[in-house]
Chain A
């Protein structure tokens, strides 16, 4: 019990910078449900400015490891390595896992902290049976391929539970590293290659490993244990967090504007107007895909983002007071999001290329999400009274 209580005060930084996909929202929702409130969001600039020093745990979620590495650069990657070596905990999922692994003889200049081969890297990958457009990523003189997507089974000790996989690797790791293995597929598993080939590639190999490096640890996962629809997988993640000792002080407090009363309502309503219009526009997009870096984004991912934003804004509508970092810039990002979507709609109707607009859209969406979630967690941490005072100052 004490460990659980202590874990709640962990300072957790989630990477949402260049290359991060939308799946970081799953971490946010799951951590929120588990009542972790010291949740912060980092991009490559924050890492480069030494922000990692303030965290117990750094999460590198799903996305495009090529873009993440490019964004962080050698200096940023080096700072991540130092963070772990000095005692920090790195949790990588999917892209975050690939980024940390050295899985071939001539690896990309990424983190390369763990020498563990993966089963889904080959010079001649098996043929795709579906989703040709996203089952394969070129890497050096070979390819990383994705045998399956969706729900599957993992085993830890004697326990079997389900978790979703969206590109993460099966790892060939020694027993002392292994936390769980891929143990089976289920009715919701989507095979991207031949079923038997997928079984040979995946089953019996590591889905999650723990590797001590210096004073810290890396937890590297293929499946998305943070996915909010998989409560047992979330519990597994929770158990891992409970093993980490909270030592960090958290990042310095950001300057905030305290919005309250009619001013807050006007601000939230103006954001809701733009986000809702964006949702309408995003719903109207059909079968659009954008290749940004090595990552293929489908239009429904944008819709997921926007839906989550709208839910969050609806929650914030009920607040009497809200600390916000730079409300005007968040207002601009909401307008930008709507503008980019409108542009994509018009251009795509004429069959024109929209990748540049999609990239700008994703950027705006991330910035707005980051700002709103920052406000949300600040509120949760501080418990502001409706008169604008912080009740922590009264206790």
Chain B
């Protein structure tokens, strides 16, 4: 594919330790566009290898507002059906710029491994020393081993290693809304992590027109989300007032994903004064609430002022906070964290109620966002990011013809 995507996608066989580059053909993109839709096509093509597909949307890593989204597609051990989970922050763009817009990970490695993607190179790295490490330590070790703090890491903690269905894949240090137990799939494949450093470039068919349209779109999007930041951007998360009040006391800053004008994530500090802006010697001062729905779920399970610290424990163990919140019996922080540690070690696959349906986007715009590679939270908040507008941009960027129907699953 000449424009908007990389030339190749990658098919990794963990059992043989081989990686094959396959040309990403224009016709394939014309039919499946990208993100969840194209991932699904790749999943079907390779389903004999029980694949996990990491993919990017057509606009991921470009100038289109909110172009941060990557999508994980696999058969959920929770539902038994194929589902999609997001990965945002910097990881979506980073994957595309490694030179592989899509990565199909098949079969299982014999020994703990992590996949290291950089400049169209796929390395299989021994992860024996990482197995058993919590997510935060694993991320630090990988970054140190490969020599860059900007390496983006999708990894699992103990929960995933133990194939617990409440496990989730964590994006660097922070959970990213994997509700489908994909962490357990990484564990089953002996895959501790996928690490990425993307410094590639993308081509655009009509770059001038694309930039002009994108800038105009950004202007409209900014008007539509004006004033929204942190809690005011989080109506969907149903955060109760008591939890908001507790969070306000710990609030340090709001954060946004790569190229996302909507800063709906926020960082809470509870191990030092939250008004401290400079770096201090406190190594782990708090947590990024990257999964506000998970935070809200934990806030209902434990004391509101403890929810952030319990969320941190979920991220370190690689547990899905929404799934584990309902199981917590202890109301105090220490008790809850102790329970989480036990949950991460349990191999009881049936412990998590399979109440989640397969991936079902909340709206047409969210559906389009999962194909386009745009933050679904932003898409939900900004009407301008609709399928018609995305189809027009897609046609300009690729030189192919897309209509709004292309952005439907």
Residue numbers of A with Cβ under 8 A of B are 269, 272-273, 276-277, 279-281, 283-284, 310, 314, 341-342, 345
Contacts and interface: CB of A to CB of B under 8 A. Distances in A.
A277 B151 CA distance: 12
B149 A284 contact: yes
B118 A283 contact: no
Interface in B124-156: 146-151
Interface in B88-134: 118-121, 123
A277 B123 CA distance: 11
Main secondary structure on chain A at its contact with chain B? helix
A284 B148 contact: yes
A276 B148 CA distance: 12
The 7 A-B residue pairs with the shortest CB-CB distance, nearest first, are A276-B119, A284-B148, A281-B147, A280-B148, A280-B197, A276-B118, A345-B147
Contacts of A345: 147
A275 to B, nearest CB: 8
Given A269-B121, A277-B146, A280-B199, 8 more contacts: A272-B120, A273-B121, A280-B148, A280-B151, A281-B147, A283-B150, A284-B149, A284-B150
A34 to B, nearest CB: 24
Contacts of A341: 147
Nearest to B149: A284
Contacts of A283: 148, 150, 197, 199
Contacts of B199: 279-280, 283
Contacts of B146: 277, 280-281
A262 to B, nearest CB: 14
A210 to B, nearest CB: 40
A273 B124 CA distance: 12
Interface of B: 118-121, 123, 146-151, 197, 199
Q: Which one of B118, B119, B147, B197 has the greatest number of beta carbons of chain A within 10 Å?
A: B147
A272 B119 CA distance: 8
Contact of B147 (A269, A272, A342): A342
Contacts of A273: 121, 123
Nearest to B143: A284
B118 A277 contact: yes
B148 A281 contact: yes
Contacts of A276: 118-119, 121
10 contacts: A277-B118, A279-B118, A280-B118, A283-B148, A283-B197, A283-B199, A284-B147, A284-B148, A284-B149, A314-B120
A341 B148 CA distance: 11
Contact of A279 (B119, B149, B150): B119
Nearest to B197: A280
A280 B147 contact: yes
Contacts of A277: 118, 146-147
Nearest to A272: B121
Contacts of B119: 272, 276, 279, 310
Contacts of B123: 273
Contacts of B120: 272, 314
Nearest to A341: B147
Contacts of A272: 119-121
B279 to A, nearest CB: 14
A283 B118 CA distance: 13
B203 to A, nearest CB: 14
A187 to B, nearest CB: 22
A277 B149 CA distance: 13
A284 B148 CA distance: 5
A276 B197 CA distance: 10
A346 B6 CA distance: 33
B142 to A, nearest CB: 12
Nearest to B123: A273
B280 to A, nearest CB: 18
A341 B146 CA distance: 11
A39 to B, nearest CB: 26
A314 B120 CA distance: 9
A276 B146 CA distance: 11
A277 B145 CA distance: 11
B147 to A, nearest CB: 4
A268 B119 CA distance: 13
A99 B37 CA distance: 63
A273 B120 CA distance: 9
A345 B148 CA distance: 9
A329 B298 CA distance: 58
Nearest to A278: B147
A318 to B, nearest CB: 11
Contacts of B121: 269, 272-273, 276
Q: Which one of A269, A280, A345 has the greatest number of beta carbons of chain B within 10 Å?
A: A280
A269 B123 CA distance: 11
B333 to A, nearest CB: 34
A14 to B, nearest CB: 27
A280 B149 CA distance: 10
A278 to B, nearest CB: 9
A261 to B, nearest CB: 17
Contacts of B148: 280-281, 283-284
Nearest to A314: B120
B21 to A, nearest CB: 11
Contacts of B151: 280
B199 to A, nearest CB: 7
A281 B118 CA distance: 12
A111 B199 CA distance: 43
A205 to B, nearest CB: 40
A279 B197 CA distance: 10
Nearest to A342: B147
A361 to B, nearest CB: 13
Nearest to A310: B119
A284 B143 CA distance: 10
A351 to B, nearest CB: 16
